[in-house]
Chain A
Amino acid sequence: MNFFLETLVGGLLAGTLYSLVAIGFVLIYKASGVFNFAQGAMLLFAALTFVSLRERGLSFALALVLTVLVMIVGALLIERLVLRPLVNRSQITLFMATLGLSFIIEGLAQGLMGAQVRALDLGIEDVPLFVGDIMVSQFDLVAAGVSGLTVAVLALLFNKTRIGVALRAVADDTRAALSLGINLNRIWQIVWAVAGVVGLVAGLLWGARQGVQFSLSLVVLKALPVLIIGGFTSIGGAIVGGLIVGAAENLAEAYIGPLIGGGITPWFAYFLALIFLYIRPSGLFGDRIIERV
C-alpha cells in the first residue's frame, strides 16, 4: 500500500510540472485559437537567457527580472512581426507560423548563448523526505508550490483585472470583442508575454532538474496529452490534466511496465489521451464546440 501511495503522490507532484508547461499553451490557445508549437522553444530560450545572465555574474533576482523583460520584448516582436501580418488567416496558417517560429527561436537561442549544457541551481535540494513511510521529493514539493502560486497569480490576472476580462471576451467571441473596441493586438501581446513568463517558470524548474540544454524544448511533448485530457481552453483543465497524466504514467510504469519490458512512461500519457479523445473529445474542461448547420 505504501508503494502505491508513494507512486501516486510522486506522480501527482510531477504532474504539476506538466501542468505548468500546458498552461502556456492554454493561454495562447484561448486568445487566438492557435496551438503554439513554439512554446517549448520559448521555454528553452527563457531558461537559457536566465542561465547566461547568471553566468555573467548577475544576481538571481536581477537575472530573473531581465529575463522577464527579454520574454516581454520577445512577445512584442512575435506579435508585430509574425502574428499581425497573418491576422484573419486560417488557424493552420498560424500554427505553421508557430512551427517555423520554434525553429527560429531554438536556432537563435543556441547561436546567441551556445549549445553547451548548463547546470541550474535554484537552491532547492533534490533529496528525499519521508512522511511516515512514504517518500516524497523535496524538489517536487517546492515545484508544486511554485506551480500553484503561478496558477493563483494567473487566476487573479484573468479574473480580477480589466485585461483578464478583455482576454475572456476575446476567447469567447473574438468578433464581438472587437466590436466592443477591445484591441486584439494588445491582447495577443499580453498573452504571449504571459505565456513567455510561464515558460520561464517552467523552464527554470525543468532546467534545475535536467540541466539547461536543447532537450528542454522537448518537455512540451508532455503538454499535448495533458491538454487533450484537460481541454485546450481551460487553465483548470491543464492542472487536472497534468495531475492525471503524472499519476497515471507513474502508476503504469510501476505496475504495467515490468510486465511489458518497461520504458512506457512517454507513450502511456498519449494512450490515455487517446481514450479521452474517444470519450470526451473536448477534454474534461474544454469548451464544447457547437456548430449550427
Chain B
Amino acid sequence: MHATFKRSLAAIGLALGAYAALVPAAQAANEQFFPLATYRVGAYASSGIPVWAGMIDYLRYINEVEGGINGVKLVWQECETEWTAEKGIECYERFKNGLNGAPVAIYAPNGAPAAYALADKAEADRIPLITLGYGRTEATDGRVFPYNFPAMLTFYSEASAFINYVAEREGGLDKLKGKKIATVYHDSAYGRETQGPLALLAQKYGFENIQIAVADPGNEQAGQWRQVRQLKPDWVFLRTWGVSTPVAIKTAARFGYPVERIVGDIWASSNEDVLPAGEAGKGYLALTPYPGGADFDIHQRIRQYILDTGKSDLKDPKSFGSVYYNSGLVNAAIAVEAIRTGQKKFGNRPLNGEEGRWGLEHLDLGDARLKEIGFLGLMQPLKLSCSDHEGGGAAKVQQWDGQQWKLITDWVQADRATLRPLIDAKAAEYAKEKGVTARDCAAQ
C-alpha cells in the first residue's frame, strides 16, 4: 500500500513536471518576445514614459486587431534601466534568451549609454540592436556591424539635413558661403557626434562652423549664450538633451537671440523640451524623423481600438500624438515590419536574432506599405540592406506654436553620399581595432 502510494505520488509528480515543462512551451510556440528596456524612473523618465506607451499601444494594436504578426502573438516585458549602461546591460542579459520560450528577434536598448555598451555583445550573441536616432553612426556600415542598426536617421544625416534645411531657407546651398552656423551641443559622445560631418560640410559649402559645448546637465547656460550673442551666428543648431533644451531656449531669449533661428535636433524636438520654456519656445524649430501630431492614420486606428477601449498604456491622454509617443509607434512598427519581412523567408513563426537581422536587412517600407499600415507622413520610406543599416536619412522640420508642433516642411533629405566616406572610414577603423573582417554583402 505504502509502495503504491509512493508510486502514485511519483507518477503525479512526473505528470505535473511534464505539464509544467510542456505548457509554457506550448504557450510560447507561437509567440514573439519584445523586450522593453524602459526608464520610467530617474532623470529621463519624463521622456521615456510616452515612448513606452507608443510602443506598447502599437504592439497591443497588432495583437488585438491583426491577431499578431501573421498569427504570431506578441508578448513583452519591461526592465527598468534608468537610462544607465549598467542596468541596460543587466536587462539585455536577462532578456536575450527570450521569455518562456518566446524568442527575441530584435532588441532596442533605448538609451545611448546602453547602446554603446551592448554593441559588441549583440554582435557576439547575434541579436540585432535597433537604435533609432541614436547609437554608433558608423554602424550604418552593416558589413562591419552586422547586428547594429542605427536606422532611419543617424547623427551624421541629422547634421546634413539641418544644413540642407538652412540652405533651403537661405535660397540655396551656394548661399551658405560666409554664413555663421553655431552648434550648441551637449558635451557628450552624442553631442560631439556631429562635429565631423559639420566640419566636412563647412569645408564643402564655405560656412563658418562654430561649436559651443554645454556640459551636463546644462541647467545654467549663460556663458554659452553670451558667446552666441557675441558671435552673432545666422543659425543655431541645438543638440541638447533633457533639461539642457528648455534652459537653452529660455537663455537664448534672455540674450535676445531669435528663437526662429534655432533648430533643435532629434533629441531636442519633443513637447517635453518646449513646454517648460513657455513663451520663449514659441517659434522654435526642430528636426524630427517622427513628427508630433495625432492626425495620422495610425492614430485614428489606435484611438478607436486601444485608446477609446481603455487599453492604452498612456497615463496622460494629452501625450497621445506627442513626439515621444509617436517615436514609440515608429520604433515598434519598424520591428514589427522587420519580423513580417523575415517571416516571408523563414515562415510564419517566431523568429530568432539571426532571422530578425535578415528581416531588418531586407526591410523595404515604401509609401504604399506605409499607407497600408497607417504611417504615411509620420514615417519616411525606409529601405535597409546589408551595407546600409540606416536607410532613410531624412527629417521633417516642425515649429512650436506655443501649444503644439506644426509641420513646416516635407522630408528634408540628408546628403548621405557626401557623408558615406566618413562613415566607411570610421567603420574601417573600428574593424581594424577589433579585428573584424567585413562581410561581403554580395554574398548575402
Which residues of chain A are within 8 angstroms of B319 by Cβ–Cβ distance?
116
Q: Does B366 contact A (CB under 8 A)?
A: no
Q: Report B349 CB to chain A, min CB distance, Å.
A: 38
Which one of B224, B242, B254 lies within 8 Å of A126 (CB-CB)? B254
Is the C-beta of B173 less than 8 angstroms from some C-beta in chain A? Answer: no
The 8 Å CB contact of A117, one of B215, B222, B223, B276, is B276
Q: Which residues of B contact A212 (CB under 8 A)?
A: 276
Is B223's CB under 8 angstroms from A211's CB? no
**Cβ contact within 8 Å between B254 and A128:** yes
Q: What's the nearest-Cβ distance from chain A to residue B274, in Å? A: 9
- Complex: A266 Cα to B247 Cα, angstroms: 15
Q: How far is the CB of B409 from chain A (nearest CB, A)?
A: 26
Q: Which of A206-233 contact B (CB under 8 A)?
A: 206, 209-215, 218-219, 222
The answer to whether A210 and B219 have CB atoms under 8 Å apart is yes
Interface residues of B in 243-258 (CB under 8 A from A): 243, 246-247, 250, 253-256
Interface centre among B222, B256, B272, B277 (most CB of A within 10 A): B222
Q: Is the CB of A265 within 8 A of B254?
A: no
- The reply to whether A263 and B46 contact each other, CB–CB distance below 8 Å, is no
Q: Is A261 an interface residue (CB 8 A)?
A: yes
Interface size of B by CB at 8 A reads 43
CB neighbours of B41 from chain A (8 A): 107, 110, 115
Which of A120, A214, A265 is B220 in contact with, Cβ under 8 Å? A265
B220 to chain A, nearest CB (A): 6
Q: How many residues of A contact B (CB 8 A)?
A: 46
Q: Cβ of A14 and Cβ of B226 under 8 Å apart?
A: no
Residue of B220, B224, B277 touching A211 (CB-CB under 8 A): B277
Is A3 within 8 A of B230, CB to CB? Answer: yes
A266 touches B275 (CB 8 A): no
Task: Tell whether B42 is near chain A: CB-to-CB under 8 Å.
Answer: yes
Q: Is the CB of B227 within 8 A of A258?
A: yes
- Closest CB in chain B relative to A92 CB, distance in Å: 26
B43 & A214 in contact (Cβ 8 Å cutoff):
yes
Partner of A6, one of B212, B220, B226: B226
Instruction: Pick the contact of A214: B42, B230, B278 (CB < 8 A).
Output: B42
CB distance from B204 to the nearest CB of A (A): 24
User: Smallest distance from the beta carbon of B161 to chain A beta carbons, Å?
Assistant: 25
What is the CA–CA distance of A214 and B47 in the complex, to the nearest angstrom? 11
0/1 interface trace, chain B 162-194, chain A, CB 8 Å (1 if under): 000000000000000000000000010000000
In the complex, which of the residues A121, A137, A262 contacts B213, with contact meaning CB atoms closer than 8 Å? A262
CB pair B215–A264 under 8 Å, yes or no, is yes
Kindly identify, within residues 194 to 246 of chain B, every residue whose CB is under 8 Å from any CB belonging to chain A: 211-217, 219-220, 222-224, 226-227, 229-230, 242-243, 246
Interface 9-residue window, one of A29-37, A249-257, A285-293 = A249-257
- A108 CB to closest chain B CB, in angstroms? 11
User: Does B56 count as interface, using CB distance less than 8 angstroms?
Assistant: no
What is the CB-to-nearest-CB distance from A218 to chain B, in angstroms, rounded to a whole number?
5
B187 partner residues in chain A, CB cutoff 8 A: 262-263
Q: Do A261 and B213 touch across chains, with their CB atoms under 8 A apart?
A: yes
**Cβ distance A100 to chain B, nearest Cβ, rounded Å:** 16
**Which residues in window 229-252 of A have CB below 8 A to B?**
249-250
Of the candidates B40, B217, B278, B280, the one whose C-beta lies within 8 Å of that of A218 is B217
Q: Which residues of B have CB within 8 Å of A266?
A: 215-217
Alpha-carbon separation in the docked complex, A146 to B349 (Å): 65
Cβ-defined partner of A263 (8 Å) among B213, B229, B316: B213
Judge whether A119 and B219 touch: CB under 8 Å: no
Q: Report yes or no: A110 in contact with B215, Cβ–Cβ below 8 A.
A: no
- The smallest C-beta distance from B215 to any residue of chain A, in angstroms, reads 4
Q: B140 → chain A, closest Cβ, in Å? A: 27
Query: In the bound complex, do residue A211 and residue B40 qualify as a contact, i.e. CB atoms below 8 Å apart?
Result: no
B212, B226, B242, B276: the one contacting A118 at CB < 8 Å is B276
- List residues of chain B with CB within 8 A of the CB of A265: 215, 220, 223
> Knowing that A117-B272, A210-B219, A212-B276 are A-B contacts, what are 4 other residue pairs whose CB atoms are under 8 Å apart, sorted by A's residue number?
A119-B275, A206-B219, A215-B217, A266-B215
Q: Which 9 A-B pairs have the closest CB atoms?
A: A211-B276, A253-B223, A263-B213, A262-B213, A115-B45, A263-B187, A263-B215, A215-B243, A117-B272
Seen from chain B, the residues whose Cβ lies within 8 Å of a Cβ on chain A are: 40-46, 49, 187, 211-217, 219-220, 222-224, 226-227, 229-230, 242-243, 246-247, 250, 253-256, 272, 275-278, 280, 315-316, 319
**What are 24 of the A-B contact pairs (CB < 8 Å)?**
A114-B315, A115-B40, A116-B316, A116-B319, A117-B275, A119-B278, A121-B278, A126-B250, A127-B253, A209-B219, A210-B243, A211-B276, A215-B219, A218-B43, A218-B219, A249-B220, A249-B223, A253-B227, A262-B187, A263-B213, A265-B220, A266-B215, A266-B217, A267-B215
